[in-house]
Amino acid sequence: MQREETAVSTASARTLDHPERTEIRLEAVLHALSDPMRLQVVRFLAELGEGEGAACSAIELAVSKSTTTHHFRVLREAGVISQVYRGTAKMNALRRSDLDALFPGLLDSVLDADTAQRRRTG
Amino acid sequence: MQREETAVSTASARTLDHPERTEIRLEAVLHALSDPMRLQVVRFLAELGEGEGAACSAIELAVSKSTTTHHFRVLREAGVISQVYRGTAKMNALRRSDLDALFPGLLDSVLDADTAQRRRTG
């Protein structure tokens, strides 16, 4: 229990900037999705249950830690994912309800297009 | 008639590179669509009839000619539009059938998202 309390107070002390739903811009979302690594992150998070998150370290990208951090930040700043601290790790979750409310069908069509492309290119 | 023949031979002499349908990449398409000016071009072309095109000069962007040329080139190289010379002008058309075949529903969901966003932001 002690550990959990520590994690909670750390989380409240270190919060990361996120756009409000109304601040999310289509152009920024499309830009965030226009990179294969970031698409891989979104695909991973989309396959988790509704509202579930994953630590950055759970999503293995074949790039350096700083590049990984950069990609997660682009996704967060565009409003595609949320990131919260759990201790020293960041937990990531897809902002599906925000995206679906703003741009119905967009996220699913991008994920479907990504699946179709990976099927074609092997 | 003489003028038309001249235009045709000019067109065949100066062709522009386009990716084949199978070479079109989702990431490049999303990047091409991630800019407000380029979205404006795509929206304009999408509102024309199937297979119809428009000269660059018909699509008024509030930027310099060289910036306009750049945006059209990004769209062409990503496989979003086709560009053919008609005399000295370039005629642009949306590659809707290619995009719809590769990524069903994607283009429409982006156009719908763009419409929704413009409605919200006025």
Size of interface A-B (CB pairs under 8 A): 78
pLDDT for the residue numbered A88: 86
* % residues pLDDT > 90 (chain B): 67
Between A50 and B10, residue with greater pLDDT: A50
pLDDT for the residue numbered A14: 78
Over the stretch B51-78, which tens digit does the pLDDT of each residue have? 788 998 888 888 888 899 999 999 999 9
ipTM of this complex prediction, to 2 decimal places = 0.86
- Å between A49 CA and nearest CA of chain B: 24
Pick from A3-12, A38-47, B23-32, B43-52: least confident:
A3-12
Q: What average pLDDT score do residues B5-13 get?
A: 47
The encoded tokens of residue B43 equal 């929206």
Residue A55 vs residues A12, A45, A68, B120: alpha-carbon distances, Å: 17, 10, 12, 34
Give pTM, 2 decimals: 0.87
CB contact B20 to A (< 8 Å) = no
What's the 3-state SS for chain B? CHHHHHHHHHHHHCCCCCCCHHHCCHHHHHHHHCCHHHHHHHHHHHCCCCCCCEEHHHCCCCCCHHHHHHHHHHHHHHCCEEEEEECCEEEEEECHHHHHHHCCCHHHHHHHHHHHHHHHHC
